Amino acid sequence: MTIRLGYQIPNFTYPGVPNENLFETVAAQAREAEASGFDTVLVMDHFYQLPGIGDPSDNMLEAYTTLGALASATSTVQLSTLVTGNTYRNPALLAKTVTTLDVVSKGRAVLGLGAGWFEREHHDMGFEFGTFGQRFERLEEALTIITPMLRGQEGTLDGQWYQARNAMNNPRVRDTVPIMLGGSGEQKTFRLAARFADHMNIICDLDVLPHKISVLRQRCEEIGRDPETLATSFLIMGMVGETEQEAKELGETIPDDRRNRAFLGTPDQVAEQIKERVLDAGVGGVCINLIRNGHRPGVVAAVGAALKPLVA
């Protein structure tokens, strides 16, 4: 399993689109991505909109309901979250959920998973947040249960945070559903990726990306895993305009804390930047979002046409 070119949909607020037509606008983006060469469509697993993208009260669709519907709206793209917050679901239930998505999509599901970080969602929704260390303890326990369940084995663990007793997971359509971790933590996330994951989506500032790739490879080597068996991708915020002026105007909306993760320009200019800054740094693929204009017909297709030759 690998993600060479992924399209992430993080924004569900579209001016002039009533809520009853909201999903069709989402599905149209997914279909446009599929037709233009993207191999994966991804959504965030959040309940509120994130700071820097919009207001917490903005529209946010539940991830797995949305992915299940997208399975019927598409036919070839892989479907995943980027990434599931581990703290939001019991791990055995999550294994069942993503495996059902795999059945519904005829083998196109990917389990994207992370430790969880958005404290306000936890507080408002009643999920236990805990400390940074506790969330990673929970993620490791969850992966211990989930991994065998995605491979046709029973999940069993008497852990501090989770318990499972010979948890079964049927039906399935593949020998395994691939696991992707998301993040950039060198001591915790990368070690868990080396142990459990098929794919690592790196989320970090561009200037530290080469270092992160080096450390990820080291974590694999420390446990005797060939680093080439762990696929990688990088999450990009795309401020892509039809013209340089439009791109410049979009760039003015980039949050300060994400400026070193954003790419600004026309589709061809952004493609050139991605090749130089990401792919040439040793990353295997990219996931791009177009938070300001991806819902406009033709934008995803133009970006796909520019990026597809880079990963062909």
Please give the residue range of the domain that contains residue 40. Answer: 5-233+296-301
Within a domain: residue 191?
yes
Instruction: Say if pTM beats, i.e. exceeds, 0.75.
Output: yes
Cβ neighbours of residue 245 under 8 Å, at least 6 residues apart? none
To which H or E segment does residue 207 belong? none
Within a domain: residue 260?
no
In angstroms, the CA 234 to CA 204 distance is 8
Cβ neighbours of residue 145 under 8 Å, at least 6 residues apart? 91, 92, 95, 155, 156, 157, 162, 164, 167
Within a domain: residue 265?
no
Instruction: Return the closest-CA partner of residue 292 out of 311, 309, 304, 255.
Output: 255
pLDDT in single tens digits along all 312 residues of the chain: 689 999 999 999 999 999 999 999 999 999 999 999 999 999 999 999 999 899 999 999 999 999 999 999 999 999 999 999 999 999 999 999 999 999 999 999 999 999 999 999 999 999 999 999 999 999 999 999 999 999 999 999 999 999 999 999 999 999 999 999 999 999 999 999 999 999 999 999 999 999 999 999 999 999 999 999 999 999 999 999 999 999 999 988 887 777 888 999 999 999 999 999 999 999 999 999 999 999 999 999 999 999 999 998
Domains: count for the chain: 1
Within a domain: residue 39?
yes
For residue 167, list its beta bridge partners: 155
Cβ neighbours of residue 181 under 8 Å, at least 6 residues apart? 83, 112, 113, 114, 189, 192, 193, 196, 197, 199, 200, 201
Residue 154: which CATH number?
3.20.20.30
Please, are residues 122 and 148 in contact by the beta-carbon 8 Å criterion? no
Within a domain: residue 161?
yes
Within a domain: residue 262?
no
Within a domain: residue 256?
no
SS3 86: helix
Angle at 28 between CA 198 and CA 259, to 5 degrees: 60
Instruction: Give the sign of the dihedral formed by CA 287, CA 291, CA 295, CA 297.
Output: negative
Within a domain: residue 205?
yes
